[in-house]
Amino acid sequence: MIKLRRKDGLFWKLEARGRFSVGSLYRLLKRSQIQFPYSFLWNIKVPLKIKFGKRDRKLVLVGFAAVIWVIWKTRNDACFRNMMPNDPSAVVFAICAMINHWSGLQKSSSQE
């Protein structure tokens, strides 16, 4: 679905202009045999407000940093090494591993 267009850029083959669109991805998923749990996602109950303690805020930041870092590394692998992830779950597992590793590096509240 994505191919290299120039030195540091991606081209989304499903759109004539090469830009990603949710609509083109949706159409691809509808045509494919992939069974994605759309109804499950729309029916998840989530709280409208979430309060974090001081320790929780640090872990949320660690989680956010891990997500950004793995996306950045995956993007660089795709652009510069022509290595696309075989499965989206590999990216999710990499994020979880990074969160697990980095959260262990954080000082506990007794060390602060």
Q: What is the mean pLDDT of each run of 10 residues along the chain (112 residues)?
A: 61 84 81 70 70 75 90 88 83 90 73 52
Paired strand residues for 6: 9
- Give me the half-sphere count of Cα atoms (radius 13 Å) on the Cβ side of residue 50: 7
Q: Which residue has the tokens 């997500």?
A: 67
> Three-state SS across 38-69?
HHHHHCCCCCCCCCCCHHHHHHHHHHHHHHHH
Amino acid at position 104, single letter: G
Q: Which helix (H) or strand (E) holds 4?
A: strand 2-6
What pLDDT is stored for residue 1 in this prediction?
59
